[in-house]
Structure 1
Amino acid sequence: MARAFLGMGLLGTNFVKALLEKGEQVQVWSRNPEKALLLEASGAGVFASAAEAVKGADHIHLTLKDDASVDEVLVSAAAGLKSGAVIIDHTTTSAEGAIQRTKEWKERGFRYLHAPVFMGPANARESSGYMLVSGDQEVIGRVTPLLEKMTGRLINLGLEEGKAAAMKLIGNCFLITFTAGLSDTLSLGKALNVSAQDIGALLDIWNPAQTLPNRLLRLSSGDYSKPSWELNMARKDTQLFISSVEQGSGALAVIPAIAAEMDRWIAKGFGTSDWTVIAKDAAL
């Protein structure tokens, strides 16, 4: 049973290498032919067009950039698609795009399944990390054995089309804001002559990740009347961060925007509320 992979970036390349090592037959295509040709020595079938690459393949995997590239490549591949083929898209896209493609390709006689991943290239090569799916459970049931070979954990989010895409975006949003927050933390550390190693040691002892579930519940509760940290006091500390970094001629990525949001809620009369009130509009 042949698989086709369209898109030979770091993720696609390592998925293919892992499957070839497991003895699978894989047909590949890339808009950058040199990347695809590098896999020929490992046993991949390399093709000059997407339509040629998908011929005879029961499952077509996409590892591309965005909605536009997925739509463009699928149009190019359409002429070569085998009747009844399942299109499995690992690209991070909009939820709307995933829903629309599921509908459109079903109308054309094919099954489209969005299966985004929380993986880096090393995870793809090691078949570790997480893969998300949602939607038609019959389709998911058919491809589950194939997908489980590619990931450490396959997470089925249920019947809702587009749910996997939405959850992938939410996860990436958290990773980006988390990383930007760490960048600001390092900037403050630099301004205060505290090394990254010392910051790491603090986080080993006092692990704020343990508070995330309760913090999420508090943010989404809608009740900010019993403060454990008043917004006015949190804003005071936020100004200390900003002033310290400015004095050290450094720069902050996200703290100034947070300060502005705090000021907006203080101006609305929430200064003595719990500081998580800044999430009120998002939570309600």
Structure 2
Amino acid sequence: MPNTPTITLLGTGTMGVGMTHSLLREGLPVTVWNRHPEKAAPLADDGASVATSLEDALRGAQVVVTMLFDADSVASVMEQALPLLEDGAVWVQTSTVGRDGTARLAALAAQHGAPFYDAPVVGTKQPAEEGKLVVLAAGPAARRELVQPVFDAIGGRTVWLGDEAGAASALKLVANSWVALLTAGAAFGIAQAEAFGLDPAKFLETISGGAADSPYLQVKGKAILEDRTGDAQFALDGVLKDLRLIRSADEAAGVPTTLVDALVALYASASEAGAGDHDLAGVITAFRADRA
């Protein structure tokens, strides 16, 4: 197998753009496609080939990467794309689609005889741009040499979770549960400090460097304090979509949903208040709404 596979990336939102930049930086040939061509067009200036049709996008592709919003959008695109794949091409599915969504997409791949890699990524806009995502991967061992250069380009490390699709997407739900919880916790602490008449920066200062601190908490906390939640690293509506997937998976697995129910309610409240396209740190809106 070649060390530099030809890649087609379907989906050029925030994450898809960052991943494209990282692939190009490593010298990998990349063709990009978006259902709305104007969203992919700027990547031509960065060195990507921009296709205006799926047929053109998939011509010659050895690795097809999907980075779309949800299982429905991935399935809609791949139902059209799979019959067009060339012999030997593999499908790398990096979107967060949950356990049921992954099973659905893996079955779709099997119907068309396409090797399928369940490979959601952990990280947001900046790690995607820097090639520092964590790739959670599960898929056939026989073709890993074809997809590993892709994972190495977009990620700082790859965590392999076996040959069967599903485990990687399950672990992604666990990771995103923590991200949503930690961000909501930072917002809650700041909102409390504000309500108590305190300088909320003192909250972050108090826990800085201690056992309860984390770099992510400080980053999200400072984004809230500096009113930078409009710069979406991970859009709040995307987190809300993932939390609903998490709740569904928890229910199916018998995990109590008390905590995730509260998180869904918080992020939904912030979205309804207009923060849906903001960074997930915009969850602060839910805590401030009753005091507005």
TM-score with structure 1 length normalisation? 0.69
Q: What corresponds to 2:133 in structure 1?
A: 129
The Cα of 1:106 is off from its aligned counterpart by 2.6
The Cα of 1:140 is off from its aligned counterpart by 3.5
The DSSP-based 3-state class of the residue aligned with 1:161 is coil
Give the distance between the partners of 2:116 and 2:108, measured in 1 at CA: 9
Give the distance between the partners of 1:113 and 1:26, measured in 2 at CA: 18
Q: What corresponds to 1:151 in structure 2?
A: 155
Does structure 1 residue 6 correspond to structure 2 residue 13? no
Does structure 1 residue 186 correspond to structure 2 residue 159? no
Moved more, 56-65 or 174-183: 174-183
Describe the shift of the 1:205–1:2 C-alpha distance in structure 2 as closer, same or farther (beyond 3 A). Answer: closer
Residue 58 of structure 1 aligns with an amino acid whose one-letter code is Q
Q: What corresponds to 1:65 in structure 2?
A: 69
Give the distance between the partners of 2:122 and 2:89, measured in 1 at CA: 25
Q: What corresponds to 2:205 in structure 1?
A: 201
Q: Deviations over 1:83-118 (max 9, x none)?
A: 121110110002122123223313312111111111
Q: 1:105 aligns with which of 109, 113, 116?
A: 109
Moved more, 18-27 or 4-13: 18-27
Q: 1:28 aligns with which of 22, 25, 32?
A: 32
Give the distance between the partners of 1:114 and 1:131, measured in 2 at CA: 10
Give the distance between the partners of 2:123 and 2:10, measured in 1 at CA: 18
Q: Deviations over 1:258-278 (max 9, x none)?
A: xxxxxxxxxxxxxxxxxxxxx
Q: What corresponds to 2:218 in structure 1?
A: none
Give the distance between the partners of 2:72 and 2:114, measured in 1 at CA: 19
Q: What corresponds to 1:115 in structure 2?
A: 119
Does structure 1 residue 18 correspond to structure 2 residue 22? yes
Give the distance between the partners of 1:205 and 1:2, measured in 2 at CA: 45
Give the distance between the partners of 1:66 and 1:251, measured in 2 at CA: 24
Equivalent pair of 2:207/2:213 in contact (CA under 8 Å): no
Q: Deviations over 1:1-43 (max 9, x none)?
A: 3110100001111111222232221111101211211011222
Equivalent pair of 1:83/1:109 in contact (CA under 8 Å): no
Give the distance between the partners of 1:16 and 1:189, measured in 2 at CA: 41
Sequence identity percentage: 29
Q: What corresponds to 1:218 in structure 2?
A: none
The Cα of 1:69 is off from its aligned counterpart by 0.4
Residue 86 of structure 1 aligns with an amino acid whose one-letter code is V
The Cα of 1:158 is off from its aligned counterpart by 2.5
Does structure 1 residue 174 correspond to structure 2 residue 192? no
TM-score with structure 2 length normalisation? 0.68
Q: 1:93 aligns with which of 90, 97, 116?
A: 97
Gaps of 5+ in 1: 211-249, 254-284
The DSSP-based 3-state class of the residue aligned with 2:154 is coil
The Cα of 1:209 is off from its aligned counterpart by 5.4
The Cα of 1:70 is off from its aligned counterpart by 0.4
Aligned-residue CA RMSD (Å): 2.1
Q: 2:45 aligns with which of 18, 41, 48?
A: 41
Q: Higher relative contact order by CA 8 Å / sep ≥ 6: 1 or 2?
A: 2
Describe the shift of the 1:195–1:138 C-alpha distance in structure 2 as closer, same or farther (beyond 3 A). Answer: farther
Give the distance between the partners of 1:191 and 1:206, measured in 2 at CA: 24
Equivalent pair of 2:83/2:112 in contact (CA under 8 Å): no
If you compute each CA radius of gyration, which structure gives the higher value, 1 or 2? 1
Q: What corresponds to 1:214 in structure 2?
A: none
The DSSP-based 3-state class of the residue aligned with 1:27 is strand
Give the distance between the partners of 2:146 and 2:46, measured in 1 at CA: 28
Residue 174 of structure 1 aligns with an amino acid whose one-letter code is W
Residue 160 of structure 2 aligns with an amino acid whose one-letter code is N
The Cα of 1:160 is off from its aligned counterpart by 4.4
